[in-house]
Amino acid sequence: MDFSARLISWQKKHGRHNLPWQQNRGPYAIWLSEIMLQQTQVATVIPYYLRFLARFPNISSLAQATEDEVLSLWSGLGYYSRARNLHLAAQIMLKRHNGEFPNAFEQILALPGIGRSTAAAICSFAFGQRHAILDGNVKRVLARYGGINGHPGDKPVADKLWQQAEALLPQGEIEAYTQGLMDLGSRVCTRSRPVCTACPVMAECVAHQAGRVAELPTPRPKKVLPEKHTAMWLLIHNGEVFLEKRPAPGIWGGLWSLPEGDPEADAERDIMSRYGVMVKSRQPLPPLEHGFSHYKLCIAPLLLHVGRVAPQASQAARMWIDLEDAQGAALPAPVKKLLTLATEDLHGQRPVSD
């Protein structure tokens, strides 16, 4: 038996068959799951997937939703450009494909937020088409199996991995094969502590034979992430909090967030000049750190009770909203944490000093 035959046989016996998106093989549901699973673990995705599919069961409902509605259901899942691209792609399909998901690889690849591997997975699972995938887990499997050196993020290495992915494709049972690759990478050929004895292709694996499983794939060269520092201001007035919508594109683009400023500056003066509100009392909150792929954000939060609200604090892309209702808005994860602290303060669970 060759690589693909062994993998298909293993997947049928030991692979995953009860994931929510495996129960609905329509292209819309498969597309949604594949986008959510980008750089995100299955256990994290499942509750978001179920809520999202219940609220937007088809392309039309997603296309006709507002961006705020889409982002609010995505809040906490991260990589928010995925949600914006889902929304935009649904609108494109409604206009150009009569609300139907296209079944041609090139048309799928042309949709925003869909790369080569994601398009291939959709084609394989939804239409049974023969295309190679190469997500992060599969890169690790093929790098070890073929003994391919180098960091997979480097183009020459990625090209070799794509060549191998194409060469190993079977002629049939493409869905079981594709799922088998994903299952093998996530459950057996893991980054740390791989279970080689459970691997169906262990005997032919170059890394296993050479004792190099721990070395491959070659890790990304380590670099120290730079730090950025910001102050986040929780402006509270009559039980409401002040939020601003962040511009897109950009970090947290399209999400509602707290106003920010220089942590070394005079917060009250900046707030007065920017929003025209008078601060009555202030309370520093515990600092937060939030990691992005390319830097670490260090947040100095400040809880500020205000006594007067001026018109400029209620313009477009700005709003005052009840603290508890704000938790249902499309918010970045650290902002949700800070609003929880502010809600505790409002209910008298935290002291506030003048």
- Residue 277: pLDDT band (50, 70, 90) is confident
Same domain, 236 and 205: no
Is the C-alpha dihedral spanning 297, 298, 304, 310 positive or negative? negative
- Residue 315: pLDDT band (50, 70, 90) is low
Note whether residue 353 is domain-resident. no
Note whether residue 220 is domain-resident. no
- Confidence (pTM): 0.85
Same domain, 52 and 166: yes
Same domain, 150 and 62: yes
CATH of the domain at 335: 3.90.79.10
Give the pLDDT score at 256: 94
Same domain, 45 and 166: yes
Of 131, 168, 174, 130, the C-alpha closest to 148 is 168
For the chain, the domain total comes to: 2
Same domain, 110 and 202: yes
Domain end (from 185, 210, 235) = 210
Domain end (from 210, 243, 271) = 210
Same domain, 142 and 237: no
Of 79, 113, 93, 94, the C-alpha closest to 254 is 79
Query: Is the CB of residue 318 less than 8 Å from the CB of residue 276?
Result: no
- Residue 157: pLDDT band (50, 70, 90) is very high
Domain housing 141: 3-210
Same domain, 16 and 123: yes
Note whether residue 66 is domain-resident. yes
Known catalytic residue at 34: yes
CATH of the domain at 16: 1.10.340.30
